[in-house]
Structure 1
């Protein structure tokens, strides 16, 4: 068979296509790992798998090395932004894309295609459901800096309860004439919006992060 149409070349082309489908979604949403990254992850995983089968090496060891490598990439994608962690979904997508490439590399095309459809379903279709859940039950971290007064922070904890929000106290400390408190607060988005409006208009609050 002509090398341009050999099964191994076809595998790499399929891997590139599946990686592109997933990467387009990440690219469209402006994520750190987009079209090119997902294509390279898929192609690379397929290539390593093909090479391992040709060399007759332990496929399990090659697979574990691929997963380890993707772990390093995922670590670079995940980062902390203000009071929240970003990039976890993109890192998980890269992990799944590597698995797709491995499936293609060993010739499990049907599994690779079905898995690609499931990944795209999660990335596209479940977004509205996630947004609906967040509107009804959202977790935010609040950091409030105000002038030091007795029971000042306790007053804000009472405010959380009055608004129907569940708060878990974090680190609290005093710096000079100011006192700083942090809380993990959970509840509906509309109640969070009401809380932030109150805090932003509170003359006692010097700084607020949420």
Structure 2
């Protein structure tokens, strides 16, 4: 291989390590599942595969194209879903973006890779502030409540309690099943009121479960 090409590829890998390190540091600082070393290796690995797809014997663009598929499996591994929320989506997106930055460095667009790194870091740092602004807005949420007893008088009582908590409820569906009363609501209010709602529901003895 030409010596000039080798130097170019080495520079691409160094740029990839720098870019991955900058993003990985932010993830490590926030104690995310994919941290400093992981993001660096993802970025560097994408760069190496991109270089191989260009210069390796008997290879073509299909190697770099399959990076996207491979990164998808890694990203899926950091996503966790419980009964309340889904976690890890941002980290999965960061993994995907880091791979794209690594590929950008691999094809020789070093300045663009550095620029994309700064943009990604800026987005991650701004997320908390923007989320706080969004939390001040009205949000909607579907609520399903299962009462222990099939007593319809419990429904307006619960609605009255939640209305005093800064929430607005719209009754969507009522189902009687196995001697239990299941009521589905559409609830709207500020994020902090929605969080307080869960605490309120958890303390009500007449409620068997909610989601």
Superposition TM-score tier, normalisation by shorter sequence: 0.7 to 0.9
Once the two structures are superposed, the pairs formed by residues 40-55 of structure 1 within 5 Å of their partners are 40-55=41-56
Q: Quick check: 77-86 or 190-199, which moved more? A: 190-199
The match for 2:205 among 196, 200, 203 is: 203
Shift of 1:76: 0.7
For structure 2, list consecutive stretches of 5 or more residues without a partner in the other structure: none
The aligned counterpart of 1:174 is 177
TM-score, length basis structure 1: 0.81
Equivalent-residue separation in structure 2 for 1:7 and 1:65 (angstroms): 23
Number of residue pairs matched?
206
Shift of 1:166: 5.4
Stretch deviating more after TM superposition (129-138 or 182-191): 182-191
The worse-fitting range, judged by mean Cα deviation, of 34-43 and 193-202 is 193-202
Q: Does the 8 A contact of 2:151 with 2:181 survive in 1?
A: no
8 Å CA contact retained: 1:164, 1:187: yes
Q: Look up the match of 2:87.
A: 86
The match for 2:191 among 183, 189, 192 is: 189
Deviation at 1:32, TM superposition (A): 1.1
Change (3 A) 1:64 1:185: farther
Aligned partner of 1:32 in structure 2 is: 33
Bigger mean CA offset, 82-91 vs 195-204: 195-204
Question: 5+ residue gaps in structure 1?
Answer: none
> Aligned partners of 2:152, 2:109: CA distance in 1, in Å?
64
> Retained in 2: the 8 A contact 1:141–1:184?
yes
Q: Does 1:151 align with 2:152?
A: yes
TM-aligned CA deviation for residue 208 of structure 1: 4.6
Q: Secondary structure at the match of 2:177?
A: strand
